[in-house]
Amino acid sequence: MERMEAEELMVAPINVEALTNHILKLIPLKDKQEYIIENSAFLLNGEKIINVVTDNECCYEILEKKMHNGTIQYVYEIGCRIKTWKDGGYSFPMTVDFWFSISLDEIAKFLKPAESLKDFMIGRYEYNPRISSNTRNFIKFAVSNLK
């Protein structure tokens, strides 16, 4: 692959609702609370999930292997914030309340069907020069690593 565009690079977005429900089963919340989990997507090489995750502004992270559930594997650490509803409104912290760890194999159960990077970015694609630069850098990274 010499050159690729955002319309050609494929990612698998996380199904945030399904993942949130999974976390809720493991870590229940009090009444009037809910989790906030950022929307992310995994890079695909064909149909294979790669250990690279990005947000909708192409700020990406390369997952590292860690000890998880008794084996060494790629682990995604998801920042979870807790939104609390009160007095007709809500509040949530600017920082992460806790990190939820899940393996690459486990996260596969919570992915939506593949779509282009451009479609995943929705309204953020070419939104400003910083995001345009992030997108170009992410595509260059992907092209150099999807051989």
Q: List, for residues 72-119, the tens digit of each pLDDT value.
A: 999 999 999 999 999 889 999 889 999 999 999 999 999 999 999 999
Residue 141 in any domain: the answer is yes
Tell the burial category of 67 from Cβ atoms under 10 Å away from its Cβ (0-12, 13-18, 19+): exposed
Per-residue pLDDT at 140 exceeds 60: yes
Helix (H, G, I), strand (E, B) or coil at 74: strand
pTM of the predicted protein model: 0.88
H or E segment to which residue 119 belongs: helix 117-121
Spell out a b/e string for 16-31, using b for 16 or more CB atoms within 10 Å of the CB, else e: beebbebbeeeeeeee
Residue 81 in any domain: the answer is yes
Number of domains, the chain: 1
Q: Which domain holds residue 16?
A: 10-145
Q: What is the token pair recorded at 121?
A: 């970015």
Residue 120 in any domain: the answer is yes
Residue 50 in any domain: the answer is yes
Question: DSSP labels for 11-60?
Answer: EEEB-HHHHHHHHHHHS---TTEEEEE--EEEEEETTEEEEEEEETT--E
Residue 67 in any domain: the answer is yes
Q: Which residue has the tokens 């282009």?
A: 116
Residue 58 in any domain: the answer is yes
pLDDT recorded at residue 1: 45
Residue 46 in any domain: the answer is yes
Residue 4 in any domain: the answer is no
